[in-house]
Structure 1
Amino acid sequence: MTAVFETAGKKEGLQIWRVENFKLVENSEAIHGNFYVGDSYLLLKTIKTRNGKLRWDLHFWLGSESSQDERGAAAILTCQMDEYMGGDPVQYRQLQGYESSEFMAMFKTGVKYMQGGVESGFKQVKTNVSESKRLLHVKGRRSVRATEVPMKWSSFNHGDSFILDYENNVYQWNGKECNHFEKLKANNVARAIISYEKGGKGKLIKIEDGERIPINMLQALLGTPGDILPSVPDDVVLSTDTSPAVLYHVCADTGKLIITEIGYAPLEQDQLDSGDSYILDNGSQGKIFVWKGKGASREERLGALEYANKFIERKNYSESTGIEIMAEGAETILFKQFFSSWRNKDETVGFGKIYAANKIAKIEQIKFDMKSLNDSKLAAKYRMVDDGSGKLEIWRVEDGFQSVDPSMYGVFYDNHCYIMLYTYKPSRREEYIIYFWQGRQAPIQKVTVSSFLAVELCRKYRDRPVQVRVIQGKEPPHLLSLFGGKPMIIVSGNEKISNFISGIDDVALLQIFCTATGGRAIQVSTSAGSLNSNDAFVLKTRSSCYIWVGLGASDDEIDGAKFVANKLCIHTPVVRKEGKESPGFWYWLGGKQEYANHPRLHEDLNENPPRLFGISDASGRLVVDEVPGDFTQADLCEDDVMMLDVWDQIFIWIGNGANSQERKEAPKLAEDYIKSDPRKRDARTSIITITQGNEPLSFTGFLPTWDPKFVYSKTL
């Protein structure tokens, strides 16, 4: 086992092992996100922090049908890996169907649960072949889970989406009670199967409940469509139990393991002794923590984990209760918030209040460092096949292929579609990826033609390339890496149909921002109201060029702004920091006016990131769930009510299609959410209700590149 541990966590990225006969067998990246219900897995996420150091999240995942021996082996192997790595990883216990937001955020297109396992004769997921035969039940509006179910019509219900992967094609069937957002998520899963498991080959066929069923579906599934069951309600995921968390001391100094209750949250940091271990029981809200002091004995460390598991059974907690294990010095934001103050190593003052409530806070988000790809294991969740240094060719979609001048690679117009052919050589032979990018304002004719041209180009290379459809705003990180670490530039204007890119507006304002998935520069309305204190901007005019640096802009965003200015402007850029603008700057923006400059935008939002939740009763029961990972305007569902928590304020956003029950219950849920904060959050925290189309700058500033003309129905 030492050989496996020696390769663990050396480079940034995600590694997954399946527990097989009490040993760890590493999964290939091609099947990351696929889990067999009869197995257990270890997942190690290695993250490079801003200071260049590595930190680790170590998850052990337990399938619903995995044996007790396998579950025990997974727990033991997790402890062994943790010990080998010096106790530095933060450990998480994950149960199938109840995975944490930290876990789900690693798989942007969701996870798939497959039938079987090692003991029942494990079979790898077939990729890029025509023999595939499986039926997936897709559930979840934001954290998507696709579970393999028996291939018969009685597996279907009218409230969810189902995906039949049969031979060369993928069929998406949508129940009549699905809304647009759920259909979109299921569509993302179906397209991911085609792109990543079938190598871009195969056709996606959509069927709505009640429509004529294709003959292949009728032949593949047992029974008849008359066997379809009624809709199944989702589980309510937000607890309003306000029971305080309890701290327990775990000590074996007397030769016997003794568990002693210490007190209730909020706690004091000096209640933790480096020589022992502790259990922080917040099981009433779905989480138990194990803290291991640097001087804790092996018996105390393992005993704390054993008792944490016993708490779930003895206190009748939900089986979905998560267990989070950390060493002294590696405490998570979620753990620290139970203490009235907290000092990290070498800090002279406490870190102040943490913004999130305990049920739904998570580890700080770390930006994906594109500069380090040559030295890191590329993250499987991002499908990073290499560092983007291969050969790139780009065509604009007209009646056919229109070559783009290489000097303007990386500049895209939002009213056009583009075809990109990327060639790389991972081993002895060349491999290919075809990205067909579709601008948000592109006419439907060009969108359709782009799909046909991608197929045509694929055939030219004997169907070897992987095809990836990309919608503007949802660019995968590998695509963003193709431009030499510089931002992808998306502009409006009237692009001329010629051999050269031209037509960028004489006066244009571009917003530059970086997220965990890379950098973009997007043209926004040329108005002072478009500015955002959290980002950097480039203002291109007929006689000048400005770089505006918001108080919260990162160094990467400032560097990106300088690149964009030099790329698009003929004049030498002038840097203006927020608050130091010249009259000429405001003149080109139509005068000074209010913009998004909420104080929270000046802070490091990676330390205390805002959180977004959806509130829906589409299934007949009120469900509150979190949008995992980075979120944008496109994650707002107009059929629901959304809740945005920015710590000192909570926004209730009411979509045009939200029903009366959702509108009525949302403010009460926000109040309960505040009360459940173990840090004794101020009950007077402002709750602001807004409606779709009437969003204030204090709200839109937390959603990158807000577009007031965004068409939600087109996205959904």
Structure 2
Amino acid sequence: QKPEITQGFVKVYTNGWLRKWGDRWLEINKDFLFVYETKDSPNMTLCVPMDSIIKVDISNAYDIKNGNLFAIESNSLSEPEHFYCASAPLCLKWIKSIQTLVHQSPQVGGEEPIFAESSAKVSEATQDEELVLMEGWLEMYLLGYIYNGWVRRYFLLTKDTLFVYKNDQTKTTNPLETLHIPKMITVSKSDESHPNRAFTFKLCTATRIIHLASKEEEDMITWLEQLTNLIHPDNPLLNKSLADSTVSSNDSAADDGESGGSGTVTEGYVMKKNFGMVGLARPWRKYFLTVAAGKDFLYFNNPRDTTTRLRISMQTVVNVTESSQFPELGFEVHTDDKKVHIHQAESKEDRDRWINALKFMRNQFIDYFEHLQIDPDTLNSQARVKDTQIDNFIDPIEVKNGRCPVLVKVIGKRRIRTRIVPLSAKSLTDTSVFVLDCGMKIYQWSGRSAPRVVKAKGWDLTNKIRTKERGGLAQVINLDQGKDNNAEFWAALGGKPAPKKTSDEALAEFKRQQEEEDKQGDNIRIYRICGNDTPQETRIKLIHEGTRPPPKEFLMFDSVSIVDCENEIYIWVGKEATTYQRKLGLVVALKLQKQEGRNSFVTLSRVFDKGETILFKEKFSNYPGMLPIHVGKQDKKKSSVASSQEQKAIDVLEMHQSAPPSPSFYSDPDVAGKIIKVWKIEGFDKKELPEELFGQLWEGDSFVIVYRFPYQNKEKNLVYFWQGKFSSRNEKGTSAYMTVDVSDEIGRDVEQIRVVQDKEEEHFLRVMCKYNFIVHRGKYEVANEEAHQIPRLYACKGDNELVHPVEVPLSCFQLSTLHSMVLLAPNHSYVWNGVLCNQFEASCAIKLAKSKDTPTVIGEEGKSDSTHEFEGFWKLLGGKGKYYGHDGHVETRKPHR
């Protein structure tokens, strides 16, 4: 028997200065009765185990005799708990439903609740060490009428609940807050919205965001892992990539909202058009919008806000489109109540990012059985189709044996991509490279106008197929347009076409189309077959949609995934996938292949776990051995046999006193040239920076820098590609491609040099110091108004005139008695000099501080850093704490390496 009602609003008699009836949200299931502050709030005020309930019946307490009040008596409660309903029939429904669940419990009495508002202490069960997953001190960000800031609290985590205590001595009493894990939407690392805390993360719920901070990064990662496992138990990708995302900046969360998975969080500032009377007085309002776990639109005043100002459920979203009223920056969210929520993004790129991300999230709620018209009852008959009966089916075994030739087009200039095209000479174009795989013979045909980097990608592809799929036995034949007289090649393509010269207009049109394709990229969708061998428990889920290559972790060993690449569809079969999943995967792929509006040529192929083909791996971002080709010099091997070296005792003192390697000045000893252009890598493209930003780099990005200098009565060029330590793998690879691209545009006399953050060579430093070299944290944002309002801390470290400021987390732990620090605040600039800092570091710090139009305050460690004028410095750092050398034990300084 099922209960008549399982959730709804009731009133509870509340304690406090004014005792009154307050609205609460009541939920019941086979195990517990829960009471929450509001419907979507995670704050639980009462939890009673069903098997502890002794009696539930109508009550006449508080002189209420209209039949609207019922009471619950339980072994876990010191006194009966009363609930007031809107009507007497509703009250009877609650009583019958609770009685039904109590009778279904294994036994009545025994267990105590997780937490009861009226009880004197937390249930002993929650204090059982076997049930406590984690506990410890964290800081919690609170907004109040008088004070906004961080307070220290003790947290205790169980499987279903997060308890918040004032300190670790009060664990046996009522907690300050009881947060129910099932009511939480997602957990993620915070961005730089809390500059005075280095390691922050946030819990996102429908009614509030809980900002937390730990002292150590390891503690933050541990809390994130535990909470993620509880909130997203079915998302192994999120758990696996968690540690990486906490170390690096959120750039691929970012990945423009194109990453899949239920834990994705897309956020940023938007303007939202108000409705009704409010809209007449104030048409637009600025919000910080967070789309949490692809489930809810949550609107906040700013990134530090803790209260949800507005909420829209993703399940109510019907469509997401560009706004016809505001075509430049606007987008619309249509909901099933026929409302149109109009937004404006900060830039066109942001607008496109929002639309793509929101469309993907909306698509996750589609019933693909109905959408693709798949009948589970007739699945077996639909799956009884031979591979030879499928249009354009490609069997990797047949390709390897030479019985199924495949023509692959290598295209792009910035986004190098591979695409299977029809096996015909008509597919060949002047601007692309083509690879014809005939088994033991692999042909590469290069168009006369194909970029050099595309040719390099073609060589890379043919070499991988030859070595990894053919055991190095296949023959590679290179053909250039105009020098391609190979009868077997043209026979495989159905004959050589008549010579035809491509006009300049047609060539320009080809290049224009290629530029458009580069910007758009190839859309990739991944569908996962989830569930068991029964139709009732099986679901088709869209887990990724976007133009960026997805990570291979989306492919799970116990499922079947359909990778839809527009012109190619792959059925990936996990090694533990069930027979039903395999049949359903084939049917889904066939339905997608025949979808209305698709190209007539769509290939279908089946690949297996641990036996993926090179062409399949090319669709992903991180398959081993599939990283982008690198541009750089490599030392030639003198011998294939490693030579042994004489072992010597390690002299630590000699290591510190050894002279640095002699710098390479690339025939430019006086550094007499200048920077011509600087580009920032954005995904698979580049964006030029204005001249006033020359010399400024961001550790979350990669940059391409062109330096030109006079050499022997002519000009020579150096193309540096600088890679920030937190730049994404894709951006680092793209910076190498872009360096080749830029070098091709410049022409002759070009050298390409890769530079890694913190390992810059002397010539690069001398060039950048001419432009006041500085490295910022995070990623570069165009016209970031808040960047000037947030305090920033910079470290100046070095032993010569090449010292440059590097931004570090805003914390006193970053200070060192060996170096100088600069704190740039909105109203003041502070310079803090450690006791053992040198003149180069002190001069660099003062130069940076005085570059701002604010008063500069200088503090010397142990002397003037304790004055009244310097109090603001310590306040911004969160208080005066311990740092390297704070106790005076460091007395000497070694050369900075």
Q: TM-score range by the shorter chain?
A: 0.3 to 0.5
Which structure has the higher relative contact order (CA within 8 Å, separation 6+)? 1
Structure whose alpha-carbon radius of gyration is higher: 2
Query: Scaled by the length of structure 2, what TM-score is found?
Result: 0.27
Please, what TM-score do these two structures have when normalized by structure 1? 0.33
